[in-house]
Amino acid sequence: MTFSTPTTPTSPVAVRGDGAGTPVAIGLRGVTKTYGAVHAVRGLDLEIAPGEIVAFLGPNGAGKTSTIDMILGLSRPTSGSVAVLGMPPHQAIRRGLVSAVMQTGGLLKDLTVAETVAFTASLFHSAVAVDDVLRRAGIAGIADRLVGKCSGGEQQRLRFAMALLPDPALLLLDEPTTGMDVEGRRSFWAAIRADAEAGRTVLFATHYLEEADAYADRIILISKGRVVADGTSAQVRALASGTTVRATLEGADPETLRRLPGVDSVEVRGDTVLVHTRDGDGVARYLLNQTEARDLQVTTRGLEDAFLALTGHEDDATEIEESHR
Amino acid sequence: MSTPTLPDVTTRRAPALGGFNLTLVRLELRRLLRNRRTVIFTLVMPIVFFLMFGLNAQYADRSAGHGNWSASIMVSMAAYGAMLGTTSSGASVAVERSLGWSRQLRLTPLNPAAYIVVKLLLALAVGLTSILAVYVAGLVSHKPSMPVSLWIVTALLAWAGSLVFAAFGLFMGYLLPSENVMQILGPVLAILAFLGGLFIPLDEGSVLATIAQFTPMYGLNGLVHAPLTTAPFKVTWVVNLVTWLLLFSTGAVWRFRRDTARV
């Protein structure tokens, strides 16, 4: 896992260096997107391997939707290149290799749920059976309902069912649970998760921290059109706020602890020692192996703190993307 | 991370015919039948006009070439109905755009050209229904009179010519905002029908008649009536029809490209 800063140099993209020549699911190289004077994306280098479940996390206006549109071929980067499964996005779309669940819209109110799926299925060279995707999305019971009469959550499940039709290698979800209640979100994610177990690559954009935390193998945090952190949820958390290791240790030597890799500060309160560090595992290993420490507690601060620390204030950026919707 | 079971990219193929298929046409037809209210409006208007103007007792006696005056008015109203039906059907893409459906379709292999073909077929289906509705009204009223062959020929001419307005509807559907496409197009079509001489013949040689020759309904109006009235065939009818067809199709393609442009 890598942690990039806004000035990270370009990483090799397009084909993974595993010798097999397997194309990466998504490869972005030096991608920028400018709308007039607004820089929505300011140089993204990303490589997402097949089978990864990745959260694209960031405040409104961070450039998430702009990036997803480019991966889907709905818009073209101002500069840089986008490859999906080793080919240009529109070719991947035509072969049914990529699907997306968009946030809103994209449905005809005067078709039923089953008709909408059948309509979409007819467009692909080969598609999964309509009944099958309805069942997997949990909407087999409302197959004959008009789309206009479906709730927001049901419509979102319908979009998911449509996305499953071509059995895509890559599934993109743009803020898929916006407007759903807690239960709706939970069951929606359960369906996605169950589906992804088959090895599908999933990239979802969200500004719900807990969603990124709970459902992604990897979190890519972006702010103002740049990647500010990239790693597991624990890594991203630790990056901003660090980990606190607390232990009972008689006669602790603060100087030795301070010299451990990644340690920011050490507090000693009687028999209790508190170590603030970016490498909690390392400190814990040292304390348990090299000292008499006991009652060890390792706590990372919430992802929310990491999020705020890394993305900075978000108000100015918010207006930018809203005006381009 | 679970074991990737990435499908073999090379085995995946794009659909034949750009995604065009009969399921698509069938479901679009079903939507049309479901939205009967808008369709019925375009069917009823020409019939009402025919009943108002075409059943005059004098018209039944008045000759119009191979048939009577009532038949001529029936042909006019059928052409008007075809114009209304194809335009409103084509213009319905405005609603699909506003719902984000066009954008959704861009996430499928459906080729834009295949989609346009489906929309044109559908517009022509509505146009044909409208023509048949007026002719049925004519049959039931027993007033129009002309040889059976002319019933068929005039209907086919009106139908074929209505392709111009299917293209016009698509063009407008991609050009205008969705909420009020037909509120704008209804009066526009009435004016075009009037200028084309569909409602009342324009005085030959007048300034208005000269201008009218360049409006989109002029060619179709001349062509549909010619077999009946035995009026001498004019090349300008065909030139008019073809020119407007090209203009509207080009406009539709131009707007469509902009709508789906990868910006």
3-state secondary structure string across A187-203: HHHHHHHHHHCCCCEEE
Residue B104, chain A, CB below 8 Å: the answer is yes
Mutate which: A16, A38, A94, A155, vs B, most B CBs within 10 A: A94
Quote the pLDDT of residue B31: 92
Q: Tell me the whole-structure pTM to 2 decimals.
A: 0.79
Nearest chain A residue to B5 by CA: give it.
A199
- A233 sits in the region (left: phi over 0; alpha: psi -120 to 50; else beta) called alpha
Pairwise CB contact (< 8 Å): B30 & A115: yes
User: Is the minimum CB–CB distance between B34 and chain A shorter than 8 Å?
Assistant: yes
Identify all chain A residues contacting B23, using CB atoms and an 8 Å cutoff: 118-119, 121-122
| Least confident span in B124-128, B154-158, B239-243, B258-262 | B258-262
Q: Say how far apart CA B74 and CA B80 lie, in whole Å.
A: 10
Q: Does A67 touch chain B (CB under 8 A)?
A: no
Q: Given a cut of 80, is residue B258 above it in pLDDT?
A: no
Query: Rounded to an integer, what distance in angstroms lies between the CA atom of residue A293 and that of residue B60?
Result: 111
Which of helix, strand or coil describes residue B221?
A: helix
Residues 6 or more apart from B110 whose CB is under 8 A from it? A123, B15, B18, B19
Q: A88 and chain B: CB distance < 8 Å anywhere?
A: no
Ordered alpha helix ranges (H), B54-205:
57-61, 69-91, 93-98, 101-105, 112-141, 148-161, 163-175, 181-195
CB B90 within 8 A of CB B165: yes
Summarised one tens digit per residue, pLDDT across range A13-64 is 333 344 455 689 999 999 999 988 889 999 999 999 998 999 998 888 888 9
Give how far B20 is from chain A: nearest CA, Å.
7
- Tell me the pLDDT of chain B averaged across its residues: 88
Q: Does A194 touch chain B (CB under 8 A)?
A: no
> Residue B233 is encoded by which pair of tokens?
């065939």
Least confident of A134-138, A298-302, B80-84, B228-232: A298-302
CA-nearest of A74, A95, A100 to A85 is A95
pLDDT at B169: 94
B178 touches chain A (CB under 8 A): no
Judge whether B2 is closer than 8 Å to chain A, CB to CB: yes
Q: Which residue of B has its CA nearest to A70?
A: B262
| B95-128 pLDDT per residue, tens | 888 888 988 998 999 988 888 889 999 999 999 9
Write the pLDDT tens digit of every residue in B207-223: 888 888 999 999 999 99
User: Residue B18 pLDDT > 80, yes or no?
Assistant: yes
pLDDT on residue B4: 42
Contacts of residue A322, defined as CB under 8 A and 6 or more positions apart, other chains included, come to: A60, A61
Burial class (CB in 10 A: 0-12, 13-18, 19+), B1: exposed
Contacts of B24 in chain A (CB under 8 A): 119, 122-123
B11 touches chain A (CB under 8 A): no
Residues of A in contact with B30 (CB under 8 A): 111, 115
Note the pLDDT of residue A18: 44
Asked if A22 lies within 8 A of B21 by C-beta distance, the reply is no
Virtual torsion, Cα B34, B37, B38, B39, nearest 10 deg: 70
Q: How many Cα atoms sit within 13 Å of B150 on the Cβ side?
A: 21
Chain A contact for B183, CB < 8 A? no
Tell if the CB–CB gap between A125 and B15 is shorter than 8 Å. yes
**What is the nearest CA distance from A207 to chain B, expressed in angstroms?**
23
d(CA A209, CA A306): 10
Predicted ipTM? 0.85
Per residue of chain A (325 residues), what is the pLDDT tens digit? 444 444 333 333 333 344 455 689 999 999 999 988 889 999 999 999 998 999 998 888 888 989 999 999 988 999 999 999 999 999 999 999 999 998 888 999 999 999 999 999 999 998 999 999 999 888 999 999 999 999 888 999 999 999 999 999 999 999 888 777 888 888 888 888 887 777 889 999 988 878 888 889 899 988 889 998 899 888 877 776 678 889 998 888 888 888 888 888 888 888 899 888 888 888 899 999 988 898 998 887 666 666 777 776 444 433 333 334 3
Residues 36-65 of B with CB under 8 A from A: none
Q: Does A110 touch chain B (CB under 8 A)?
A: yes
pLDDT for A241 equals 64
**Residue A30 near chain B (CB below 8 Å):** no
The candidate with the shortest Cα–Cα distance to B224, out of B122, B145, B88, B131, is: B131
Note the pLDDT of residue A10: 37
> Parallel, antiparallel, or unpaired for β A53-57 and A201-206?
parallel
